[in-house]
């Protein structure tokens, strides 16, 4: 594993009939979506009730602090994606678009089941779930902002351990 400059050039060079720069724009777009989701999820992770549960309390606290530092840094980034513009306009059309996106993710996940290479299938599903989790966060903005204080009723917004892992993996990949 390491840098593969010929593969990078094959995929992203301008000599790809215009596909390379388009792919880079798509990657940048995904990066902005995931960065925005990480920043928006900060209040969820800041809750005292959120724990990492690795089995070592001291390390859990240390890793949570580091994670919160990273999320604070993500929040400080000035050029966030604005998800409100994505579904602006007619409410029915926006609801249909959200449902279409949800169904597309289910379909992509099913397609990934057919990939022959186990490693490719695993990473593809992880990336797909990570992006799906990012969209879940973006679409749940009001629920995240209205998180009840710790000890009160269970919050309406929840992330499973699997969603958290896939979100952070997709953000770095």
As a residue count, the chain comes to 173
| pLDDT of the residue at 66 | 93
Cβ-based neighbour number of residue 108 at 10 Å: 16
Would the pLDDT of 149 be above 90?
no
* Residue-averaged pLDDT of the chain: 84
- Are residues 127 and 31 in contact, defined by beta-carbon separation less than 8 angstroms? no
Torsion angle of C-alpha atoms 85, 90, 95, 99, degrees rounded to 10 = -80
Q: Which two tokens stand for residue 98?
A: 């959200």
What is the tens place of the pLDDT at every residue in 54-83?
888 899 999 999 999 999 998 898 777 777
More confident call, 34 vs 95: 34
């Amino acid at each position: 594993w390491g840098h593969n400059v010929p593969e990078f050039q094959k995929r992203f060079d301008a000599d790809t009939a215009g596909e390379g720069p388009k792919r880079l724009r798509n990657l940048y777009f995904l990066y902005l979506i995931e960065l925005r989701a990480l920043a928006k999820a900060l209040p969820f992770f800041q809750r005292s009730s959120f724990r990492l549960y690795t089995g070592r309390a001291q390390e859990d606290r240390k890793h949570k602090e580091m994670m919160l530092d990273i999320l604070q840094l993500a929040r400080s980034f000035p050029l966030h994606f604005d998800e409100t513009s994505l579904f602006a306009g007619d409410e029915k059309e926006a609801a249909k678009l959200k449902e279409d996106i949800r169904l597309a993710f289910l379909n992509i996940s099913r397609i990934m089941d057919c990939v022959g290479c186990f490693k490719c299938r695993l990473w593809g599903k992880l990336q797909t779930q990570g992006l799906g989790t990012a969209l879940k966060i973006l679409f749940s903005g009001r629920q995240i902002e209205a998180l009840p204080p710790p000890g009160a009723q269970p919050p309406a917004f929840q992330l499973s351990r699997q969603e958290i892992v896939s979100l952070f993996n997709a953000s770095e990949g």
